[in-house]
């Protein structure tokens, strides 16, 4: 089963760890079944425009995607990140593309209007 993971607001460092572990377990389950994963993050948190905890979750999820893609690219593991404005829903067509486009893996699809002209690390 495909995995769709959504960043939640973090209230503590324990919450950060719990969200990252939950995301890892979801992605691991999907890739072992040969299914894609999409991780939705708040784009402002990727560049530190939120709380420390929220930035830790967003960048941790981005790092998770990159590590899994690096390790599993040769196995066809597909994991992508969709970055959205805070509290915005990602466009359905972007989620579908991130899940179904062959060869699309390890990418940050930034659809946040508030990030125009900003560079995501």
Within a domain: residue 121?
no
CATH number for the domain spanning 24: value is 3.40.50.720
Each residue of 15-47: pLDDT tens digit? 999 999 999 999 999 999 999 999 999 999 999
Residue 108 inside a domain? The answer is yes
3-state helix, strand, coil in the chain (%, to 5): 50, 15, 35
| Cα-based distances in Å from 17 to 30, 39, 88 | 20, 16, 23
Residue 2 — very low, low, confident or very high, per pLDDT cuts 50/70/90?
A: confident
The count of structural domains within the chain is 1
Domain assignment present for residue 101? The answer is yes
Boundaries of domain holding 87: 3-115
Q: Write out pLDDT tens, residues 80-113.
A: 999 999 989 999 999 999 999 988 999 999 999 8
DSSP 69-89: HHHHGGGT--EEEEEESTTPP
Question: For the whole prediction, is pTM greater than 0.75?
Answer: yes
Q: Residue 31 domain-assigned?
A: yes
Does residue 42 fall inside a structural domain? Answer: yes
In a domain, 8, yes or no: yes
Cα–Cα distance, 56 to 54 (Å, whole number): 5
In a domain? residue 120: no
The average confidence (pLDDT) of the chain is 93
């Amino acid at each position: 089963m495909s995995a769709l993971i959504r960043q939640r607001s973090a209230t503590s460092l324990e919450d950060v760890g719990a969200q990252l572990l939950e995301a890892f377990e979801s992605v691991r389950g999907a890739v072992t079944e040969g299914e894609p994963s999409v991780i939705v993050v708040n784009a402002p948190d990727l560049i530190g425009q939120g709380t420390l905890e929220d930035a830790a979750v967003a960048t941790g999820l981005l790092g998770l995607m990159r590590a899994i893609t690096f390790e599993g690219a040769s196995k066809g593991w597909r994991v992508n990140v969709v970055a959205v404005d805070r509290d915005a829903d990602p466009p359905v067509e972007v989620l579908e593309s991130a899940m179904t486009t062959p060869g699309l893996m390890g990418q940050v699809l930034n659809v946040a209007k508030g990030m125009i002209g900003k560079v995501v690390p």
